[in-house]
């Protein structure tokens, strides 16, 4: 069979066998190492998307491989009728790095959407009828998480959605007008990743904390994309010095092994009671062992600090390119949005892929960049060369 026939074969198989809920895949990837991946034809790509901010330690990191291999030999799954050492260790670790402390509690699921579904139920348990979320925010595609997502185009085909959610502008003024003592929860992303890596206005989180405390509403911060070291702190809310009532997380927690979590603070930890929520696979020994390995390595190697330093380096490199196609560089740490002239982002993304660089044209005017937290000088240099070539070719 010719190479062309093999390529056609996998593309045809994907189209024939998988649900058409995604765009056709760009390449058939077969292996990875560090910040690099290879396709079925042997072409090497610099992965500056990291599985959409998932692969915190890159690909095939030895500590993840060792942890998973060891845990598979012991226990993979036991159900939540039982506890496992790795689950207990991870819960303690998450309480520590979030700052939830002794009064904090952890709920484990399998994804970010599931973590936000848990937050939705947490809000319902307050007995208050209204939930506030932000326009253009993204919180997931399951029905509760989709109701929280402020994107009407995603919601329309699936209405009616769970009721009681109101979407407001991302301004303090809009929040002041909307919040009253019947609001159960305000949920926010500190940086709107799926909108093009757009940070909240300066001071918004501090004002939101003050307003929610005054009204008795929960402040839930969705750190599924920003959390676990990506923005140069364990969690982005820590840059602002606020303490939420709950934080949701997933993506970067376990190096690509599916896992999500919600951590509650203070009185919010007592809202969900026995039987209120559950997950068959949530917090299983395999996923939590992987997460402990990932988070332990992030801490040991100061990859939170590396994210802060390398993020500044990458943003400066893009700005120094002086391309007329680049209008803005946004974000924090290793979650970076490159604003482009209208309609230019898809062509830049395609040219980058041809140059051996994976970035994400998230919309017509934004490129999302989210490399592994292990990125170093060699990878930044390769990114600079390849992204400049992509801009020049677009």
Q: Give the whole-angstrom CA distance, residue 75 versus residue 84.
A: 9
307 in the same domain as 294 = no
Residue 380 lies in a domain: yes
Q: Give the whole-angstrom CA distance, residue 345 versus residue 339.
A: 8
As for how many domains the chain has, the answer is 2
In the prediction, which pLDDT does 103 show? Answer: 97
Write the DSSP assignment of 151-192 as a string of letters.
-HHHHGGGPSPPS-EEEE-SSHHHHHHH--TTEEEEEE-SEE
In the prediction, which pLDDT does 3 show? Answer: 53
Last residue of a domain, one of 280, 300, 320: 300
Last residue of a domain, one of 300, 333, 353: 300
291 in the same domain as 240 = yes
Residue 288 lies in a domain: yes
**Bridge-based pairing state of the strands 260-264 and 246-249:** antiparallel
Residues of the chain with pLDDT > 70, as a percent, come to: 98
**Bridge-based pairing state of the strands 366-369 and 360-363:** antiparallel
pLDDT band for position 1 (50/70/90)? Answer: very low
Strand, helix or coil at 53?
helix
CATH code of the domain containing 275:
3.40.640.10
pLDDT band for position 173 (50/70/90)? Answer: very high
Q: Give the whole-angstrom CA distance, residue 114 versus residue 71.
A: 24
Q: Which residues contact 291 (CB under 8 A, 6 or more apart)?
A: 86, 90, 253, 254, 255, 257, 259
Residue 69 lies in a domain: no
154 in the same domain as 248 = yes
Indicate if the alpha-carbon torsion angle 85, 91, 96, 100 is positive or negative. Answer: negative
* Residues annotated catalytic, as ranges: 138, 222, 251
237 in the same domain as 386 = no
In the prediction, which pLDDT does 58 show? Answer: 98
89 in the same domain as 12 = no
- Residue 2, pLDDT > 90, answer no
| Orientation angle between helical segments 285-300 and 62-74, nearest 10 degrees | 150
173 in the same domain as 258 = yes
CA 341 to chain centre: 25
pLDDT tens per residue across span 259-302: 999 999 999 999 999 999 999 999 999 999 999 999 999 999 99
If you average pLDDT over residues 154-183, what whole number do you get? Answer: 98
- pLDDT mean across residues, the chain: 97
In the prediction, which pLDDT does 366 show? Answer: 98
Last residue of a domain, one of 253, 283, 300: 300
Q: Which residues contact 71 (CB under 8 A, 6 or more apart)?
A: 86, 285, 286, 289, 290
Residue 379 lies in a domain: yes
Q: Which residues contact 73 (CB under 8 A, 6 or more apart)?
A: none
- Residue 379, pLDDT > 60, answer yes
293 in the same domain as 316 = no
For 275, the domain range is 75-300
283 in the same domain as 146 = yes
Contact yes or no for 92/296 (Cβ under 8 A):
no
Query: How many other C-beta atoms can be found within 10 angstroms of the C-beta atom of residue 129?
Result: 12
- Residue 7, pLDDT > 90, answer no
């Amino acid at each position: 069979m010719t190479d062309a026939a093999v390529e056609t074969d996998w593309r045809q198989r994907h189209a024939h066998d998988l649900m058409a809920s995604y765009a056709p895949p760009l390449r058939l990837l077969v292996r990875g190492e560090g910040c690099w991946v290879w396709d079925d034809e042997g072409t090497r790509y610099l992965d500056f998307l990291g599985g959409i901010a998932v692969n915190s330690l890159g690909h095939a990191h030895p500590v993840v491989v060792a942890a998973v291999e060891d845990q598979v030999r012991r226990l993979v799954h036991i159900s939540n009728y039982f506890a496992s050492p790795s689950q207990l260790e991870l819960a303690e670790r998450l309480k520590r790095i979030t700052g939830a402390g002794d009064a904090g509690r952890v709920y484990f699921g399998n994804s970010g959407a599931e973590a936000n579904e848990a937050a939705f139920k947490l809000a319902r348990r307050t007995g208050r009828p209204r939930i506030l979320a932000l326009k253009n925010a993204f919180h997931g595609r399951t029905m509760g998480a989709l109701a929280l997502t402020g994107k009407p185009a995603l919601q329309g085909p699936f209405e009616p959605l769970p009721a009681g959610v109101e979407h407001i502008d991302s301004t303090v003024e809009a929040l002041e007008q909307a919040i009253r003592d019947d609001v159960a929860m305000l949920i926010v992303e500190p940086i709107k990743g799926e909108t093009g890596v757009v940070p909240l206005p300066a001071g918004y989180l501090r004002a939101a904390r003050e307003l929610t405390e005054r009204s008795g509403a929960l402040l839930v911060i969705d750190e599924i994309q920003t959390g676990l070291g990506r923005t140069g702190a364990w969690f982005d809310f820590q840059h602002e010095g606020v303490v939420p009532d709950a934080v949701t997380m997933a993506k970067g927690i376990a190096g690509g092994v599916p896992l999500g979590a919600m951590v509650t603070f203070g009185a919010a930890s007592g809202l969900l009671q026995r039987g209120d929520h559950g997950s068959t696979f949530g917090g299983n020994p395999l996923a939590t062992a992987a997460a402990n390995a990932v988070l332990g390595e992030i801490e040991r190697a100061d990859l939170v600090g590396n994210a802060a330093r390398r993020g500044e380096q990458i943003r400066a490199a893009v700005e120094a390119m002086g391309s007329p196609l680049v209008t803005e560089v946004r974000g924090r740490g290793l979650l970076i949005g490159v604003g482009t002239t209208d309609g230019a982002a898809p062509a830049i993304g395609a040219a980058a892929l041809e140059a051996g660089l994976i970035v994400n044209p998230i919309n017509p005017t934004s490129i999302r960049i989210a490399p592994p937290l292990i990125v170093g000088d060699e990878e930044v240099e390769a990114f600079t060369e390849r992204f400049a070539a992509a801009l020049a070719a677009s």
